[in-house]
Amino acid sequence: MVDAHERFVASGALRIWTERVGDPELPAVLMVMGSAAQGVSCPDALVGRLVERGVQVIRFDHRDTGRSSVVDFEAHPYAIADMARDCLAVLDGYGLDSAHVAGASLGGMIAQWLGVHVPHRVRSLTVMSSSPMSHDPGPARARALAGEPADPDDLPPPSPAFVAHLNAGLPPGIESDVALFRVFNGPVRPFDEPAARAMLELAFSRAVDPAAAANHHRAVWMDDPSLMAPLSSITAPTSIVHGDQDPVYPLGHGEALTALIPGAVLHVVPGMGHVMTSPGLPEEVADLIRL
């Protein structure tokens, strides 16, 4: 991969760690990762493939992750919209009027928010392994955790393997995270445990406060009326990338997204789970990101 350049940008009072890879004169792709995930969770192989496709790539640490600022959530609670504004601060910090935006999981919901609320900043939209931003997964997940039957109006609940992992109550740490990523990977494609472990160890080593990332789970439950804006207002060319083995947001979530966003194209990735921890998968996904 070509040389990467790191810098901090300001988002209000917060400092957001960022990294740019590629020629700064080329169009930019902003990679927005999921809940509790640092920028380094975006695989180098994916970034390298995108650079080969003729763009620069910017990845960053969300607030409360990695080297970015830690927030006192009790004193300064925040919601998904605030995390989306951090994305805008990253673009502003690099002097970018707009970018191709690709978001995974919670990052996919943040990407939707950008597509709805600041369409002039979004050249194209790629939503990966995610769900409609207005969807409240709480009731369905609660029923799944309790072993109760699904409601017909629910989007598909998490997989039994994911529910079993959540119920196992493993102590926090690298081994628990590796076990979680094994479940995230799904049962079909091979799980690259050494690569996943190396990424998780790197993330732990560079985190200002590893426990702070749990605030993202609180942010998701914050009242955020801006999430209720209709996805039908998205005008950016949109691709939905979803694995048919996703244990967190089964394929029905990606299908629902595709139906809600005008002109969206669904790319179903056979055997893919919720993360890109299988050999060759980061490059495969990179080729599906809308440019």
Q: Is 82 helix (H, G, I), strand (E, B) or coil?
A: helix
Contact predicate 249/109, CB 8 Å: no
- 239: three-class secondary structure by DSSP: strand
**Distance separating alpha carbons of residues 5 and 259, to the nearest angstrom:** 38
Q: Which of 100, 216, 242, 274 is the catalytic position?
A: 274
Catalytic position from the list 64, 86, 224, 246: 246
Contacts of 196 (CB under 8 A, 6+ apart): 178, 181, 182, 185, 275, 277
> Helices in 61-146 by DSSP H: which ranges?
80-93, 106-117, 138-145
Strand ranges for the chain from DSSP E:
4-11, 14-21, 28-32, 56-60, 99-104, 122-128, 238-243, 265-269
Going from the C-alpha of 84 to that of each of 79, 136, 162, 191, 224, the distances in angstroms are 9, 18, 27, 31, 12
The active-site residue, picked from 11, 105, 129, 278, is 105
Tell me the longest C-alpha to C-alpha distance in the chain. Answer: 54
- Annotated catalytic, 135? no
By the 8 A CB rule, do 219 and 80 touch?
yes
* Known catalytic membership, residue 246: yes
What's the residue count for the chain? 291
Identify whether 100 is a catalytic site residue. no
Catalytic (active-site) positions: 105, 246, 274
